Amino acid sequence: MVWNNTTLYQNATEPSPYDYNEWKIISKEVADLMKSIIDCYIIPPIVLIGLIGNILSLIILSGRRMRRYTTNIILAYLALIDALFLTTMFLRKMPCLVAKFDAVTAKIIDLIMLAHPLILELIFGRLSCLLSLVICCERFIAVFYPMKVKIWVTPKRICLVLALVTLVVVGYLAVGFTLASNIWYYDDQYNRTMPKWIHEPIYLNNKQFFDAYNFVARPVIFRLLPVSLVILLYVAIILQMRRRKRWLNDVTYSARNTNNETELRSLTKMLMTIVGISIVCVLPGAINTLFMLADDRYRYSGQFRHEFRAFSSLVAVGDIVNSSANFFVLAAQNKMFSAILSKIFCRLRRKATTRSDTLDLNLTISSNLSKSISSIVHKDTV
């Protein structure tokens, strides 16, 4: 549907009541430069590496040998969610690259990505954070109740928990799909049809409620609360593992129990490495959320909007690093994962070598045949 330019809302957001001429920490030029460098030169290569790693992780962890373990089910689903998050993140940052060839097309893509794709990115990002909490809960049971973990934590129950977490996140955040959208109008300046991002009537009629939902409830429930719980569980698991190590040094253990303890420690170390990276990468986003809650001037249209844009760009880097790092942890600390990965690369290399040898053989046969034909023709001519 094409709208006339005069029928549009002039601003997608409410005008800021603050004086933009007041003193600021970061200027608009610095914020624009940071955003341009991060969006154009930092995010794309990390996203490409992360996508390849997550796809390989999903293939390996979904195999028959790997999916027997409950932790691998969580990690496989985490790889899927991270791959989707990286894809939506790249699509939202793509206008920076497109702008180098066509500024108008880049603006169109940017406006389109501000609506529903932004909500998809938010859903996948919050799911990734909550899956780190699921990993911590599973390891908490395994470390504190090792004799009951196989009874309490089963593949079916893990699948049920993942389904419930997904339903909660999607059910809560999908409200954002109804709050804003893009409409199309003919722009005389560009002499073409352009999109416009506007609020829907449901938001305009209930602005106070949805502002509390967007800027208070959603950040607290899906950013601050999960990060806080993950940190608490992480510290508790690390302390408990140290107590177990001291206790094992003081008692006599059979070889079987020692093997079980070694397996528990190696698996916990790998998962806690993944969770530790997640904490480091997600913590800037939690701090950013605290700033937003503490001062409403620290918003996209507030007095400190340039500081918000600059810090949010750094938060985006942390989020994509968090979604890209798990593959390297699995390859380095999971022997079964690394063994299967090595087999995959060996098979690919073997196939490439076989094709190369076949091509060389065909070229040799073709060359010899050509020489034979030339010799025969030469003799007949003579």
pLDDT tens-digit map of 31-44: 889 988 998 899 99
Cα angle 339-341-342, degrees, rounded to a multiple of 5: 65
| Residue 299 C-beta-side C-alpha neighbours within 13 Å | 17
Q: Classify the C-alpha dihedral 84-44-115-291 as positive or negative.
A: positive
Which of 36-40, 107-111, 159-163 is predicted most confidently?
A: 159-163
Asked whether residue 233 carries a pLDDT value surpassing 90, the answer given is yes
Tell me if 111 sits within 8 A of 194, measured CB to CB: yes
Q: What is the rounded average pLDDT for all residues in the chain?
A: 83
Side chain identity at residue 85, one-letter code: F
Q: How confident is the model at residue 52 (pLDDT cuts 50, 70, 90)?
A: very high
Residue 260: predicted pLDDT? 74
- Residue 365 vs residue 323, higher pLDDT: 323
Among positive and negative, which fits the CA dihedral 150, 155, 156, 157? positive
Stronger pLDDT, 231 or 351, i.e. the higher one: 231
Query: Residue 74 in contact with residue 134, Cβ under 8 Å?
Result: yes
Distance CA 363, CA 20 (A): 72
For residues 50-76, average pLDDT: 90
Q: Which of 143-157, 230-244, 363-377 has the lowest mean pLDDT?
A: 363-377
Q: What CA–CA distance (Å, rounded) separates 128 from 11?
A: 33
27 contact partners, CB below 8 Å, separation of at least 6? 306
CB distance 322 to 48 below 8 Å? no
The yes-or-no verdict on residue 229 having pLDDT over 90 is: yes
pTM of structure: 0.83
Q: Is the pLDDT of residue 142 over 50?
A: yes
Identify which of 236, 359, 380 has the alpha carbon closest to the alpha carbon of residue 228.
236
Residue 1's pLDDT is what?
35
Nearest to 61 by CA among 349, 340, 272: 340
Q: Which helix (DSSP H) or strand (DSSP E) does residue 196 occupy?
A: strand 192-199
Residues 6+ apart with CB under 8 A from 71: 135, 138, 267, 271
Taking each helix axis from N to C end, the angle separating 116-144 and 155-173, rounded to the nearest 10 degrees, works out to: 150
